[in-house]
Structure 1
Amino acid sequence: MLIPFYRQLAKSLTAGPVVVATVVSTRGSVPREVGARMMIDAEGRSHGTIGGGAGEAKVIEAAKTLLTTGNKQLVEIDLSGAPDRDTQGVCGGQMQVWLERWSGKEAIALAQQILAHLEAGQSVTLVTPFEQERSPYLEAIRGPDPRSSFSELLHPPPTLLIIGAGHCGIQLAKVADLIGFQVMVQDQREEWANRQHYPQAARIFTTSIATALTELAQHTQLYAALLTRGYQYDLEALSALLKREIPCTYIGMIGSQKRVRKVKRTMEQAGFTAEQLRSLHAPIGLSIGALTPEEIAVSIAAELIQVRRSERIKE
C-alpha cells in the first residue's frame, strides 16, 4: 500500500532520520515480493513489513545501527532452513534487503513528490543508488544501470469510485480501504457524501458524475461501484463511465436481475453496444448469499480483488 507508506514516511521524517528497507531480490520461496518495504523511524518503531519473523528482526536490528551511522547496507536473509547455515526460516528461499537512510528536507521533498504522483493516479520510477554518496531520486525513464542501483516503477493504487453514498457504500469504503484501494465517493447528497460517513475517502465529489470524472481523467486504474438509489442514476453514471477516454478497469452495478436487464436495454436503445455493456459486473459482487450492507461490501470487495489479480496476471 504505497500511499499510506509514503504518507507515513513523510510524517516520520519530520521527527528525524528513517531507514527504508526494500526487498531488492528474491530466490525460491519467500514471504514477500521484490519491492516490498518497511521503515524504521528515529524512535526505532517499524511500519510495514518485509515478511515478519527472524528475517525481519535481523533487518530491524541492522536498521537501528544504520540510523546512527548512515552507512547503506545489503542484508541477506536465508530462509533455506539449511542445518549448516545461520538461517532465518524454513520457507526455502533467500531474500536481499537494501537498507537506506532517508533524512532531511530533501528526503521529505522526495517523499512528498512521490505521494503527489501516486495520489494523482500517475506511476513514477524511484531509483535507489547502491553507492554510499548518492541518494534516491526519481527517474523519468527507467535507464539506470541495474548493477549499481535498484530501480522500481511505483504504480498508484487502483482507485475505487463509489457512486451512491448510501449504507452499502459506507461499508464498502471501509473494506476497500483495507485491501489497498484509494477510495473516492460521488453523490450529490451532502448529507450522505461527507467525511463523517467516509473518513477513508481521498476525495468526495458532491458534483455530477460527469464533472467528477473530468477530475479523474488521468487515473489509469479506475474501478467504479454503482450503488445508487435509483435506476435513473445508474443510467447517468453508466453513460459517463462508458464514454471515458481511458476505459475503466471495472464497473459494477448493484440491483436485481430485473433492474439490470432494464438498465442494459435502455443503454442499448441510447446507442451503447452489447460489447460495451458485456464488461459490466451486474449484479455487483461475487455470489455468496450476501444480504446485509456489510456482507454486500465483502462480496463486492472479493470481486474487486478477483479483477485486480487477473489484471496483474495479464501484465
Structure 2
Amino acid sequence: MLVVIRGAGDIATGVALRLHRAGMRVVMCDLPTPTSIRRTVCFSEAIRLGETRVEGVRGVLCADAATARAVARAGDVAVLADPDASCVAELAPDALVDAILAKRNLGTRRGMAPVVVGVGPGFTAPVDCDAAVETMRGHYLGRVYYQGSPLPNTAVPGLIGGYAGERVMRAPADGVFEPCVEIGATVRAGDVCARVAGEPMCATIDGVVRGLLQAGVRVTAGMKSGDVDPRCHPEYIETSSDKALAVGGGVLEAILALSGGAAGDRGEKNDAPALGDTFSDQGFVSALRDELAAGRRVALASLLATRGSMPRHEGARLAVLEDGRVLGTVGGGNVERVAESRARALLAGEKNVQLPDASAAQTDRNPHAPGTAQLPDASAAQTDRNPHAPALEWLTRDANDMACGGDALLAVRALTPDDLPTLEALLGALGSRGAATLEELWADPSAPELRVATDARLAPRASWDEASATYREPVLASATCHVFGAGHVGSALVPLAASIGYEVAVYDDRPEAADPARLPSATSVSCGSFADLAAEARIGAHDAVVVLTHGHAADETVLLAVLAREAQPAYVGCIGSRRKAALARARLEAAGIPAERVASVHLPIGEDILAVTPQEIAVSIAAQLIRCRAGRRTQGEGTRS
C-alpha cells in the first residue's frame, strides 16, 4: 500500500513511522526550505541533507515522483520538495494524509486518493476528508473522527514537564533565523539560543533545546522557532514524541478501517509487494539494515550450496528479527524448520554466549564438514554444536528426513552493526541499478564475515568454494519488464511481472490506457507514439521487452526499434498468431535486422498452455519470463531478478 503524506515535520514523521512499520510504503512532501522545529525527528531534514534517519528508518530526498516510488518500494521513506503534493497525480496512492498542521486545510480534497485523512484542526469528515485525527493533547489525542472535526486550535502549546507556552521560543523580529546553539544543548532561562535581525531569541525556562529552526529560514516576529524541553532527557531529542506516535496510530487506524483491511489486502491497489529473500532484493536488504540501525538484533540463515533436488538453492535467505518476525524463506519443509530453529536459538543466546576459540574449532573440525570434498553426516555435525554460536553445516537428505532428495549447506549467523557498511554498499548498488559481488567468509567459523568484494569482476553465479570456505554471489538490481501496450493482456501482465520480481515500465499511445490509476503495480507509465517510446526507453541488457500493442504495425514498430539497438535485452516477446509471426519475421529481416536477432524473439509469445483469455495469456507470458530467466541463471550470466 502506497501512502503520500503532506508535510514532513515531527507529527508527520510520527505518522510515517507508524505506517512504515505496518508495512506501508511512504512518500512525504514538504517545502523546499522546511520550517520544522524538531529537526532531529523530522524526515523533512532529508530535503536539507539529502537523507536522514529517524529511529533507524531512512528518509531519502527524491528528485521526482518516479524516483520516490522506487525509493519507497525499496523500504525507505521517500521525501519530495513538493508542498502542493503534485506527485499525487503520478503516484496514484492508496491513501493521502494531510499532516501539514497548518490549522487549516491548504488544498487537500476528498477524492484525491481512495482514502484521505486530515490531521488536526481545519478538517471535517466526510466533507474534505474521509477521516480526521485529533492532535490536541489530552483525553482525545489520536482519536479518529469519521464524522466531525478535531478540536479547534487554542494557540496554547500542550503541557510538558509542567510548562506549556513558556517552553516555546518565538522569533523576536522579522528576518533571517541564525541559531546560536545546537539541538540537544542544555540551556538556562535567559540564554541566547538564536538571533533574528540582530535581536536575541532567549530561552525562558531551563532545559534541553528540543527543536530549533535551521539556519537561513526567513521568519516573522512571533513565529514559533524553537522549543525547550524542561524534562532534560537527551534521549528524547532523537525519538518521536508520544503525541506524534499517538496521532500516527490514529492515521493508521483510519487507513486500515477505510481501505477494508491490512496493508496489501486490496490486491488491485497493492503497491507493496512482499519482501523477497535474497540480497538482490532491496526491500529485504533495507529491512535488515533498518533493524541493525535501530539497535535490534538479527539472525540470518542462508543456503550457501545445494546438491540434488531442492526447493530453493544458493542465495535463499531467512532472517529472524528481535521481535520474533521472520523475513524470507529457504524453501519450507525440514530445511525451513531447521533454519528457523537455529536462527532463533542463536538470537536467544547471542548476548551471553562465549564463542568457541577459532583455532580449536579448526583443529577439531569434522573432516567431512564444509571445506572438504565430502558431505558430512548431519547427525554427527549436530552432536556437539553450540546452538548459540554461528553454525555452518550440511543438512543431508537422510539425516534430516528431506523428502526433496537433496542436500543443503546451511549457514546461520548473527548480523551485527559491523555488517551495516556491507548492507549500505549493497543498497547503493541496487539503488543505482548497478551490481556487486557479495562474499561470505567462513574460514573462521566463530566469526563469519560478510563483505562486498573489492575486485571489479562480477561473480557469474552463486557459488561455494570448499577450499577457502567462501561463498560468492552476484547482487543485481531487479530487471525491468518493458510492456508496450496496456490493453487487456498488458494490464493483466503488469501485476504478474511485478510479483515475480520485475520493475514494470508500461508504454501506450492511448491516454486512457496509459493511466497510472489502472496500473498501480507499474513502476512507470508513459504515453506517446510507440516509435518515440521505443526509441527513448532505457532498456538494459538484463531487461525483458514484451510487445502487446493494439495493432500489427505498432508491434513491428516497437520490435524494429528494440532489435536495432546495439545492446540487446535478455528477452523479447511479441503477441500474435503463427501467420503473423512469419510475416513479421520476414519484414524485420527485410528491414536489416540480423536473422539471429529475429529468431531470438518469442513470437508468438508465452508458454504453450492453451491460454485463451487475457488473464491466461498474461500467465503464459509470466511463465515464459520465469523459464527464460532461470535458464540464463543456470548458464551463469549473473542474470538480474
3-state SS of paired residue (1:14) = helix
Find the counterpart in structure 2 of residue 19 from structure 1: 299
* Matches for 1:61-80 after TM superposition, within 5 Å: 61-67=341-347, 69=350, 73-76=390-393, 78-80=395-397
Q: 1:248 aligned to 2:528?
A: no
**How many residues align structurally?**
307
Q: Name the TM-score, length of structure 1 as normaliser.
A: 0.81
Q: Offset of 1:148 from its aligned partner?
A: 4.9
Q: 1:111 aligned to 2:423?
A: yes
Find the counterpart in structure 1 of residue 408 from structure 2: 95
Cα offsets for 1:156-186 (capped at 9, x unmatched): 4443211112221121122223333333222
Q: Offset of 1:25 from its aligned partner?
A: 2.9
- Contact 1:13–1:103 (Cα < 8 Å) also in 2: no
- Contact 1:79–1:90 (Cα < 8 Å) also in 2: no
Find the counterpart in structure 2 of residue 238 from structure 1: 559
- Contact 2:413–2:448 (Cα < 8 Å) also in 1: no
Q: Offset of 1:232 from its aligned partner?
A: 3.2
Q: Offset of 1:29 from its aligned partner?
A: 4.4
Q: Which amino acid aligns with 2:413?
A: E
Q: Aligned in 2, Cα 1:31/1:306: closer, same or farther, shift over 3 Å?
A: closer
* Higher normalized contact order (CA 8 Å, seq sep 6+, divided by chain length): 1
Find the counterpart in structure 2 of residue 209 from structure 1: 533
3-state SS of paired residue (2:347) = helix
Q: Aligned in 2, Cα 1:258/1:116: closer, same or farther, shift over 3 Å?
A: farther
- Contact 1:119–1:156 (Cα < 8 Å) also in 2: yes
Is the deviation greater in 20-29 or in 37-46? 20-29
Tell me, in whole angstroms, the C-alpha distance in 2 between the residues paired with 1:202 and 1:119. 14
Q: Aligned in 2, Cα 1:184/1:116: closer, same or farther, shift over 3 Å?
A: farther
3-state SS of paired residue (1:246) = coil
Q: Aligned in 2, Cα 1:153/1:133: closer, same or farther, shift over 3 Å?
A: same
Q: Offset of 1:41 from its aligned partner?
A: 1.7
Tell me, in whole angstroms, the C-alpha distance in 2 between the residues paired with 1:33 and 1:188. 42
Once superposed, what is the RMSD of the aligned Cα atoms? 3.2
- Contact 1:40–1:63 (Cα < 8 Å) also in 2: yes
Tell me, in whole angstroms, the C-alpha distance in 2 between the residues paired with 1:156 and 1:40. 24
Q: 1:39 aligned to 2:319?
A: yes
Q: Which amino acid aligns with 1:62?
A: R
Q: Offset of 1:277 from its aligned partner?
A: 1.8
Q: Offset of 1:125 from its aligned partner?
A: 0.5
Tell me, in whole angstroms, the C-alpha distance in 2 between the residues paired with 1:138 and 1:248. 27
Q: Offset of 1:73 from its aligned partner?
A: 1.1
Tell me, in whole angstroms, the C-alpha distance in 1 between the residues paired with 2:428 and 2:522. 16
Tell me, in whole angstroms, the C-alpha distance in 1 between the residues paired with 2:347 and 2:282. 18
- Contact 1:114–1:124 (Cα < 8 Å) also in 2: yes
Find the counterpart in structure 1 of residue 435 from structure 2: 123
Unaligned runs of 5+ in 2: 1-275, 356-388, 637-641
Tell me, in whole angstroms, the C-alpha distance in 2 between the residues paired with 1:42 and 1:182. 31
Q: Which amino acid aligns with 1:100?
A: R
Tell me, in whole angstroms, the C-alpha distance in 2 between the residues paired with 1:33 and 1:248. 26
Is the deviation greater in 195-204 or in 281-290? 195-204
Is the deviation greater in 111-120 or in 21-30? 111-120
Q: Aligned in 2, Cα 1:31/1:251: closer, same or farther, shift over 3 Å?
A: closer
Q: Offset of 1:140 from its aligned partner?
A: 3.5
Q: Offset of 1:93 from its aligned partner?
A: 4.3
Tell me, in whole angstroms, the C-alpha distance in 2 between the residues paired with 1:27 and 1:303. 25
Larger Rg: 2
Q: Which amino acid aligns with 2:548?
A: L
- Contact 2:393–2:409 (Cα < 8 Å) also in 1: yes
Tell me, in whole angstroms, the C-alpha distance in 2 between the residues paired with 1:103 and 1:204. 40
Q: Aligned in 2, Cα 1:108/1:190: closer, same or farther, shift over 3 Å?
A: farther
- Contact 2:318–2:330 (Cα < 8 Å) also in 1: yes
Is the deviation greater in 109-118 or in 122-131? 109-118
Q: Name the TM-score, length of structure 2 as normaliser.
A: 0.43
Cα offsets for 1:117-169 (capped at 9, x unmatched): 34655432012233456752211426998625422223444432111122211
Is the deviation greater in 299-308 or in 165-174? 299-308
Q: Aligned in 2, Cα 1:271/1:51: closer, same or farther, shift over 3 Å?
A: closer
Tell me, in whole angstroms, the C-alpha distance in 2 between the residues paired with 1:250 and 1:304. 8
Q: Which amino acid aligns with 2:343?
A: A
Tell me, in whole angstroms, the C-alpha distance in 2 between the residues paired with 1:258 and 1:149. 52
Find the counterpart in structure 2 of residue 137 from structure 1: 451
Q: Offset of 1:272 from its aligned partner?
A: 2.6
Find the counterpart in structure 2 of residue 279 from structure 1: 600
Tell me, in whole angstroms, the C-alpha distance in 1 between the residues paired with 2:493 and 2:394. 38
Tell me, in whole angstroms, the C-alpha distance in 1 between the residues paired with 2:526 and 2:338. 45
Q: Which amino acid aligns with 1:124?
A: A
3-state SS of paired residue (1:81) = coil
Equivalent residue in structure 2 for 1:169, among 476, 490, 495: 490
- Contact 1:183–1:203 (Cα < 8 Å) also in 2: yes
Q: Offset of 1:223 from its aligned partner?
A: 1.5
- Contact 1:7–1:115 (Cα < 8 Å) also in 2: no
Cα offsets for 1:35-55 (capped at 9, x unmatched): 221211222221221122233
Q: Which amino acid aligns with 2:290?
A: T
Cα offsets for 1:269-304 (capped at 9, x unmatched): 433344432222222223333221101111212322
Percentage of identical aligned residues: 30
3-state SS of paired residue (1:25) = strand
Tell me, in whole angstroms, the C-alpha distance in 2 between the residues paired with 1:187 and 1:247. 21
Tell me, in whole angstroms, the C-alpha distance in 2 between the residues paired with 1:150 and 1:279. 34
* Matches for 1:2-13 after TM superposition, within 5 Å: 2=278, 5-13=281-289
Q: Aligned in 2, Cα 1:43/1:259: closer, same or farther, shift over 3 Å?
A: same
Tell me, in whole angstroms, the C-alpha distance in 2 between the residues paired with 1:312 and 1:160. 17
Is the deviation greater in 151-160 or in 168-177? 151-160
Cα offsets for 1:231-265 (capped at 9, x unmatched): 33223311221122221222111123454444444
Find the counterpart in structure 1 of residue 7 from structure 2: none
* Matches for 1:177-196 after TM superposition, within 5 Å: 177-196=498-517
Is the deviation greater in 182-191 or in 34-43? 182-191
- Contact 1:126–1:152 (Cα < 8 Å) also in 2: yes
Find the counterpart in structure 2 of residue 221 from structure 1: 542
Find the counterpart in structure 2 of residue 267 from structure 1: 588
Q: Offset of 1:77 from its aligned partner?
A: 5.2
